Structure 1
């Protein structure tokens, strides 16, 4: 039996994907368009910040060991300007937060610890330390320091840092161009009333959102015909115009599972079955320069397969780090049944008052039950074994959304679900 036909553990399937996918080219975009993109080159500081010693609060710039009881106010130093004065014994300069320290001064006394009399100030603080309330040169960053490594997704803080260093343009990885193709004559659009034996197409819309959230540019989405030759033409067209093509349905072994046969004909199939639940039928193939991921038709299977495998490929293609999420250890709150394959149960993970991560699943884990994903911030990894996983046992989990405190109520989970 070849690798293509074997039931592959998800970890081995990911290894194959990471071996096959290629990095996408780098492009330069304006700073305003760099948000949520992947930084292609490390950001290295080309200057010290701040470039001058700056006050960290409103007050008076002084010489720390000056013992003069009264000090003449010789200037007002505001942020955004520099006054040409020098603080000497017996003098002080009024200063605002963020303003550069005048020559001669080495400390700032907060305004609430002073008393102003006409054009003089009385320092009410007995012991002023050198450097007090002063942010020194390079306190935020030093020239030559690597500030943001390549592969980082650019968020608000990263954008702010790029702007503060004068980076009006940013080198980022090109977004993967993704097409999403649903298959099956039983599908109708959401605004249509299903006829006998028909269902509304949900996978196409779920996968479009999932791809966008993973940083892809969705260039096309639609439904494919259940006619082999027509579907073949559509698939070849999408592969020619995309980096990644996502299909849903048609990947099992039935007479109408056309994706399986078409991929064998037009591309190189790397694997087609996984030792995981949900999502046993899952195709990964190369067609020309494009990668095709044939996802199952069951809605939950499609989303789980996307998050575990496809999102990993998209991260690798853009150089995002880390490529693989790091599982955490959680304590089960209830008994959980195991199956014949490793199961990615949809669950809720939270931190209790002692910092222990606790978990429960979301009830019925049917691969058609989208409600099992609603509110789920994690996948609980349940390996196969011949007995229950009991409440209090530890298992691994992949976190999908932020972990919060203990949820209210019982959340609707069912023991053993």
Structure 2
């Protein structure tokens, strides 16, 4: 297949992403945090279980613990006591006896099986067993059955999730080693930008990009340095770059990366560091800039709101995860029939906003959420996935199968 995009001077997404990943350096500084402060942090060292889980043989259900050999010729055993969670049976079960046992309680010495209470009845002589197990070990959870002491539970690069914290707590681990947080400086450029709550003048718009970018950075658990709105003034923009570069590992701007007369970003990057402007073969998000500053890396996002959001999620976020030392996670993709006609011109990969729906027969399908303009945030907000149309694709008719990419954690 010919590279339709290379002839237009547009870089494909995979090549752009590979260049980003190879250019950013992961942080190396580590620190120790408490379990309560570990959510979202990236592990810097392996986590090895110090104990067996379960720590002791215990009952998988309420019933009676006994030695199976004691039921070879009889069906009734006298009761010798009980074993409760946190209050085990004291000593060894006398030969020819059974003990009452509750779920999670320690198996008394001398017992090798638990018979559930529904398979018993109480009689004058003790407990009659209506069914006998086939082999020892029935209904017993062995020590270390879930996790054996010395087992590597997590590897470096894992981002700690709520369920991971529960597992670490169950191992008695109070503190873990993590990489320090990545610091990202954020600013928007443009004389026309106003803050939400401020009145709009003629030609003004609200600065939405900085808010959505910061929200996604919070999802990544990144330390944010908000430098606010920078006017279309070269000296002010240069000062913002210098300040950001001194404080952050990465700098993200929104707007000012196209070819307008007032777009000074390229000149400043050429002056302060190295720049490689990309025109990407994706839609939305064709204008995207990446550069190296003296102490940080720079991501220049387009000014249109949807373009800024998509390029952050598809390009900046994977690079930042790499900088965080986070293990890469594959995107969740599959093919579905589209309920709606999709307009597409060959040339760029198109990330159209979509929503999962069910067809008349109950099969999962996808539909467009409406207008796909790069400034239409309403269709982004109403979506739960991308409909990804390849560079060479044209229009898709209703009923055709298309690639669907589920939104990741940034949009949930």
Mark yes or no: TM-score above 0.5: yes
Contact preservation (8 Å) 1:45, 1:144: yes
Give the length in aligned residue pairs.
399
Instruction: Spell out the pairing of 1:363-378 with structure 2 (5 A cutoff).
Output: 363-378=370-385
CA distance in 1 between partners of 2:326 and 2:335 (Å): 24
Aligned to 2:405, the other structure's residue is in SS state strand
Contact preservation (8 Å) 1:65, 1:128: no
Pair 16,386 (structure 1): closer, same or farther in 2 beyond 3 Å: closer
CA distance in 1 between partners of 2:48 and 2:361 (Å): 39
Aligned to 1:35, the other structure's residue is in SS state coil
Root-mean-square deviation (CA), in Å? Answer: 2.4
Aligned to 1:179, the other structure's residue is in SS state strand
CA distance in 2 between partners of 1:229 and 1:317 (Å): 30
Contact preservation (8 Å) 2:82, 2:88: no
CA distance in 2 between partners of 1:288 and 1:231 (Å): 16
Pair 285,6 (structure 1): closer, same or farther in 2 beyond 3 Å: farther
CA distance in 2 between partners of 1:42 and 1:192 (Å): 50
Residue of structure 1 in register with 2:275 after alignment: 269
Q: After superposition, give the CA deviation of every residue in 1:118-173 in whole Å (9 maximum; x if it has no partner).
A: 78322232446421111012211123433223322211221111112221111222
Residue of structure 2 in register with 1:295 after alignment: 301
Pair 355,321 (structure 1): closer, same or farther in 2 beyond 3 Å: farther
| Residue 197 (str. 1) matches residue 200 (str. 2) | no
Match of 2:24 among 21, 34, 46: 21
Contact preservation (8 Å) 1:338, 1:385: no
CA distance in 1 between partners of 2:408 and 2:368 (Å): 15
Match of 2:400 among 393, 396, 414: 393
Aligned to 1:103, the other structure's residue is in SS state coil
Match of 2:265 among 259, 269, 281: 259
CA distance in 2 between partners of 1:287 and 1:221 (Å): 17
Residue of structure 2 in register with 1:134 after alignment: 140
CA distance in 2 between partners of 1:353 and 1:167 (Å): 51
CA distance in 2 between partners of 1:323 and 1:132 (Å): 39
CA distance in 2 between partners of 1:96 and 1:329 (Å): 49
Instruction: Spell out the pairing of 1:6-405 with structure 2 (5 A cutoff).
Output: 6-25=9-28, 26-67=30-71, 68-117=74-123, 120-127=126-133, 129-339=135-345, 340-349=347-356, 358-385=365-392, 387-401=394-408
CA distance in 1 between partners of 2:141 and 2:233 (Å): 70
Q: Which runs of 5 or more structure 2 residues have no equivalent in the other structure?
A: 1-5
Contact preservation (8 Å) 1:316, 1:323: no
CA distance in 1 between partners of 2:234 and 2:395 (Å): 44
Q: Which runs of 5 or more structure 1 residues have no equivalent in the other structure?
A: 403-417
Q: After superposition, give the CA deviation of every residue in 1:38-77 in whole Å (9 maximum; x if it has no partner).
A: 2223323333211321101122111123224432222221
Cα shift at 1:325: 2.4
Q: Which moved further from structure 2: 136-145 or 102-111?
A: 136-145
CA distance in 1 between partners of 2:76 and 2:334 (Å): 61
TM-score w.r.t. structure 2 length? 0.90
Pair 365,89 (structure 1): closer, same or farther in 2 beyond 3 Å: same
Pair 296,23 (structure 1): closer, same or farther in 2 beyond 3 Å: same
Cα shift at 1:190: 0.5
Contact preservation (8 Å) 2:336, 2:365: yes
CA distance in 1 between partners of 2:86 and 2:357 (Å): 46
